[in-house]
Chains A and B, each alone.
Chain A
């Protein structure tokens, strides 16, 4: 019986061989909820400083002055073709980095943090989206809905982000 009496700390430890839960920041774009890895998140900012870029060539990116330099901001509504209309009052910019490039994600609302067992993260079906598969890490089920996890590495490789840095070099 004594062997079953685990301390609280031992009980919280994941089983040997099992990966530790990963933390994700959940956010809303349009009607749906998405997530990004918390480790990749640098800052969360108000969207006031985001300015438009000439279209073409930029269809989804805006620009933001941040600590003395300009960085591209991916307007997630435009990238996801999620919703029309202006930027809501709840909108925020998530600063992150992928493929060595700093950039922001303009999202409609930051919701909460979620801890997800990596074993619960599965791939997206091939027919799910026309966006490059590299833009997503996968998805997980949250209650009766599915949460798509964006990949900062994939988003950092988007043509417009690459173009933004090439133009400002």
Chain B
């Protein structure tokens, strides 16, 4: 199968739900199955000698979780919005729940299986191994990130402008 073929029903569910958001003007998504909550921004407690893409730690309902900047994880320069949204993702690494800051939440998309494509080798400079699939919304590509790989791999990623 060519990398840009539609995913077969075996490879995904008949319809996938993703949360679409903006980062550096581009459309990205995470699976709704990984999403626990969307929070308003809260300033994190800065932790010592943290990974370069970690902003610190925050509290949510008595739980302490790390806050990851997707901008920095994707090597995007510039600060972004003053108060980004926080997506709480579960089951994406060693921590039970991880907070991920994104520029702006857009909406939940239901993607029929035949509209979800395997990614080409690179999308916006991001290698295919960090991408679950590619879809289309409003005539523009939506990159469905591999949430787990994104947060467990130490390999740098560079989003091209």
Which positions in A face B, CB cutoff 8 Å?
29-32, 79-82, 122, 124-131, 139, 141, 144-146, 148
In the complex the two chains form, what is the Cα distance from A131 to B50 in whole Å?
8
Asked whether, in the complex, the Cβ of A145 is within 8 Å of the Cβ of B48, the reply is no
CB pair A128 B59 closer than 8 Å: no
User: Cβ of B56: which chain A residues have Cβ within 8 Å of it?
Assistant: 128
- B: interface residue count bin: 20 to 34
Q: Is B37 an interface residue (CB 8 A)?
A: no
In the complex, how many residue pairs between chain A and chain B have their CB atoms under 8 Å apart? 66
Known A-B contacts A82-B48, A127-B98; the reply to A146 vs B93 at CB < 8 A is: no
Asked if A128 contacts B94 (CB within 8 A), the reply is no
Any A CB within 8 A of the CB of B119: no
Give the Cβ gap from A154 to chain B, nearest Cβ, in Å: 13
B86 smallest CB distance to A (angstroms): 14
Additional 13 contacts, C-beta under 8 A, given A126-B94, A127-B98, A128-B54: A80-B49, A81-B48, A124-B47, A125-B98, A126-B93, A127-B151, A129-B48, A129-B50, A130-B50, A139-B57, A144-B59, A146-B45, A148-B45
In the complex, the chain B residue whose C-beta lies closest to that of A30 is B46
Given A81-B48, A148-B48, do A126 and B95 touch, yes or no (CB 8 Å)?
A: yes
Whether the pair A129, B46 counts as a contact (CB closer than 8 A) is no
